[in-house]
Amino acid sequence: MSKARAWAGQRVLVTGGLGFIGSSVTVRLAEAGAHVTVLDALLPEYGGNRYNVASVADRIQIVVGDVRDQPLVSSLVEGQDLVFHFAAQVSYLDSMQDPRLDLDISLKGTLNILEECRRVNPTVRVVSIGSRMQFGRVERLPVDESHSMKPQSFYALHKLTAEHYCRLYHEAFGLWTAWLRLSNPFGPRQQIKHSKYGIVNWFVRLALEGQPLTVFGDGAQARDYFYIDDAVEAFLAGAMHDGPGGEAFNIGGSEPISFKTMAETIAQVTGARVEYVPWPSAWKLVETGDYVTDIRKARRLLGWAPKVPFEDGIRRTVEYYRAAFDHYA
């Protein structure tokens, strides 16, 4: 598939397609004229939300179902040109409470996708989502693809295993796969019901409710927050690139942004107040330190780099949730 190839007429399955990233990809593809089928289990507490795709609802097919359901997966991958696989248990905290559920959804789900593609649609492309958390504690910055991986949660471990699945299905069976490890995306369509993941969006919610934003310590820890539109572009580039497949890419912001700057920017845009409090001892233990992505491989092979400045992203996010608050909170 060449870069110039249009998305119009492409048949695409998006698992987890009502969630944050899945729905953002879905909307983008539907607007570009692709025939999109969304598979989403709409599990309570997860990120699935029909409102996420409301703007393209008449142009896509939505199947409420589970990636753990092998016959369903088999029927859905058949005839697709592309599968974007986003469905997963997405809270690393929850994965520590129920590792077996995380295994079922994230590993068995991924294996169902890959195995059914191999069986019924071996020329399809499969693009899946990983996480910076696969790396565990960071040994050097910025983090490139060769950094060691020592996951600190079942969520992250299962992402690492699923990445190996994608590599093995490529190496052993010739399936075309790509794996994008995202750092800290934020923006419209992410759930803001709870704070178990997605702190930027959570802060936007708090700010819109007139609550203060709490920063532990001096908030100096660096993250490379990046806007959802840039994440979507990374997935489209990942799906279209000319390589032989089986590759993994680190995807993130191009520059470090301190936690403090993140909070202060949201405060500035919304008029909220930032509160600085000492680190709670329990949190100190789980804080992972600075994280910045080395995006050189993605830039070189995918021609991708994030474009939306952080403050712009925050403005657009605030605007989105201000207009659609009741659909999310």
Which residues lie near its own copies (CB under 8 A)? 96, 99-100, 103, 107-108, 111-112, 115, 151-154, 157-158, 160-161, 164-165, 168, 171-172
Please identify, using beta-carbon distances, which residue of 90 and 114 lies nearer to its own copies: 114
Please identify, using beta-carbon distances, which residue of 42 and 168 lies nearer to its own copies: 168
Roughly how many angstroms between the first and final C-alpha of the chain, as a whole number? Answer: 40
Tokens, residue 194: 């709870």
The Cα–Cα gap between 329 and 67 comes to 26
Please identify, using beta-carbon distances, which residue of 112 and 201 lies nearer to its own copies: 112
Nearest distance in Å: CB 70, its own copies:
8
The Cα–Cα gap between 156 and 134 comes to 5
Please identify, using beta-carbon distances, which residue of 56 and 168 lies nearer to its own copies: 168
Nearest distance in Å: CB 100, its own copies:
6
Nearest distance in Å: CB 221, its own copies:
21
Tokens, residue 42: 């709409």
Please identify, using beta-carbon distances, which residue of 30 and 111 lies nearer to its own copies: 111
40: left (phi over 0), alpha (psi -120 to 50) or beta: beta
Q: What is the DSSP string of 86-104?
A: --S---HHHHHH-HHHHII
Q: What is the helix (H) or strand (E) element at residue 214, kind and residue range?
A: strand 213-216
Please identify, using beta-carbon distances, which residue of 20 and 154 lies nearer to its own copies: 154
Nearest distance in Å: CB 103, its own copies:
6
Nearest distance in Å: CB 99, its own copies:
6
The answer to whether the bond into 142 is cis (omega within 30° of 0) is: yes
Nearest distance in Å: CB 164, its own copies:
5
Q: What is the DSSP string of 176-187?
A: EEEEEEE-EEE-
The Cα–Cα gap between 182 and 163 comes to 13
